[in-house]
Amino acid sequence: MSLIEIDNLSVTFDTAGRRVRAVQEVSIKVDAKASFGLVGESGSGKSTILRAICGLAPITGGQVRIGGEVVKSPRSKAFSAQVQMVFQDPYASLHPRHTIDRTLSEPLAIHGIPDTDTRVMTALADVGLPTSFRFRYPHQLSGGQRQRVAIARALMLKPQILLLDEPTSALDASVQAEVLNLLARLRDERGLTFLMVSHDLAVIDHMCDRVLVMQHGRAVEELSREALATAQMQTDYARSLFAASADRMLGG
């Protein structure tokens, strides 16, 4: 049994009288402690899958199972202790009027977990931020530092699964490297399972064991990391996506 099982997931939005089929019958299986990548261009529905898993988008067809259990709507507190998400834009994902301390202690308060002080300090240290940042506001931090706070927040409840929605695409290349290194280290230390969305094949390749290429809300092709590195795709779309990322190849 895989930790994350998505069967024929469909997500349809009704907006202004128009039906938008954002995701159509996509199936994914991710084993515990594995990392799975979703890649595609804007509008391919890759982020919507993450949002559907955690209840931010409606599941209109199919099933999402975490640890063999079908997720309930609305999601339970037990679910939030198991699955957490890191958002794309670190400038939009932290409450602008809450200090870092408040942001990090909020999940503890919701779940009634004691020892707020020590846990917040440890969390900051874990993501490589000085503890003196504790009472700063988000606007006093750089983009990379904010994303570290967002990662720390996601890990406050010690979840097994981290959903990563383009966690580095808003960051500079050198900062991206630091954040990717941090995510890889935390994954090894805590045995986390990643489901990661990115438009950058190189980032996906660096982080994930398997990758699903998506287009227009449908799954196009699932590739192993080896198949990606050796350009063994079967479909034209996956190949064109790969060709457009050719300058991301080793030695390219």
**Binding to another protein in span 137-156, by CB under 8 A:** 137-140, 143, 150, 153, 156
Distance (Å, whole) CA 208 – CA 196 = 8
Q: Is 240 in the site for another protein (CB under 8 A)?
A: yes
- List the one residue out of 136, 225, 245, 252 whose CA is nearest residue 148: 136
Distance (Å, whole) CA 39 – CA 45 = 10
Tell me which residue has tokens 């809450």.
Answer: 98
* Closer residue to another protein in complex, CB, 27/239: 239
Binders of another protein among residues 210 to 229 (CB under 8 A) are 228-229
Name which position in 70, 72, 92, 224 contacts another protein (CB under 8 A).
92
Strand pairing report for 210-215 and 193-198: unpaired
DSSP-based three-state secondary structure for 251: coil
Tell me which residue has tokens 């301390």.
Answer: 101
Q: Is 48 in the site for another protein (CB under 8 A)?
A: no
Torsion angles phi and psi, residue 26, rounded to 5? -105, 135
Name which position in 29, 187, 206, 218 contacts another protein (CB under 8 A).
206
Binders of another protein among residues 2 to 21 (CB under 8 A) are none
**Total Cβ atoms within 10 A of residue 23:** 29
| Segment lying near another protein (by CB under 8 A), choices 2-10, 18-26, 104-112, 189-197 | 104-112
Tell me how far, at minimum, the Cβ of 18 lies from another protein, in Å.
13
| Segment lying near another protein (by CB under 8 A), choices 12-20, 64-72, 105-113, 117-125 | 105-113
Name which position in 17, 68, 96, 114 contacts another protein (CB under 8 A).
96
* Closer residue to another protein in complex, CB, 84/160: 84
DSSP conformational letter for 56: S
CB 155 within 8 A of CB 84: yes
Distance (Å, whole) CA 209 – CA 242 = 17
Name which position in 32, 34, 157, 227 contacts another protein (CB under 8 A).
157
* Closer residue to another protein in complex, CB, 8/109: 109
- List the one residue out of 208, 227, 229 whose CA is nearest residue 31: 208
What stretch of H or E contains 63?
A: strand 61-66
Name which position in 7, 89, 126, 222 contacts another protein (CB under 8 A).
89
- List the one residue out of 35, 29, 2, 28 whose CA is nearest residue 191: 35
Name which position in 9, 54, 71, 120 contacts another protein (CB under 8 A).
54
* Closer residue to another protein in complex, CB, 118/174: 174
* Closer residue to another protein in complex, CB, 27/136: 136
Tell me the number of residues near another protein by CB under 8 A: 76
| Segment lying near another protein (by CB under 8 A), choices 4-12, 20-28, 89-97, 121-129 | 89-97
Q: Tokens representing 171?
A: 């960051």
